[in-house]
Amino acid sequence: MGSGLLQQPAGQGCKAFVHHPPPVRPLRPLFRPLSLTQRTVDTWTFFTVFRTQLYFLDRKWSYIGGFTEEKKKERTRVLARYMLESVLNLGGWVQKGGSCDS
């Protein structure tokens, strides 16, 4: 895959493009503490990117070359992968927030 935000799937021609969220940093070691500022920035970055991508998921006008169910499924897969990697990267910070909400 290329390094751009818009990538062309193989064999799809020039009409189908998939938007990929920004790459997630590699998972951090569990023993390395982060500053409160870094955790806050990471959390708000995740939240902002996730909500923006979720907003565009159901907007048919946001699909280059027209809306199809296959393109929506691909965006959903990309968003799910981003969410999984981000939550794993945030680690205990997300768990702590979830337990405070309950």
Average pLDDT, integer, range 44-58: 91
pLDDT of residue 73: 94
Report yes or no: 21 and 74 within 8 Å, Cβ to Cβ: no
In degrees and rounded to multiples of 5, residue 18 shows phi and psi of -120, 130
pLDDT of residue 79: 93
Does residue 19 lie in a domain region?
A: no
Q: Is pLDDT above 60 for 44? A: yes
Does residue 58 lie in a domain region?
A: yes
Does residue 9 lie in a domain region?
A: no
Does residue 30 lie in a domain region?
A: no
Average pLDDT, integer, range 69-76: 93
Q: Which domain holds residue 91?
A: 35-102
Residue 18 pairs in a beta bridge with 7
Tally the domains of the chain. 1
Average pLDDT, integer, range 72-89: 89
pLDDT of residue 41: 87
The string over 1-17, giving b where at least 16 C-beta atoms fall within 10 Å of a residue's C-beta and e elsewhere, is eeeeeeeeeeeeeeebb
Does residue 8 lie in a domain region?
A: no
Does residue 68 lie in a domain region?
A: yes
pLDDT of residue 19: 60
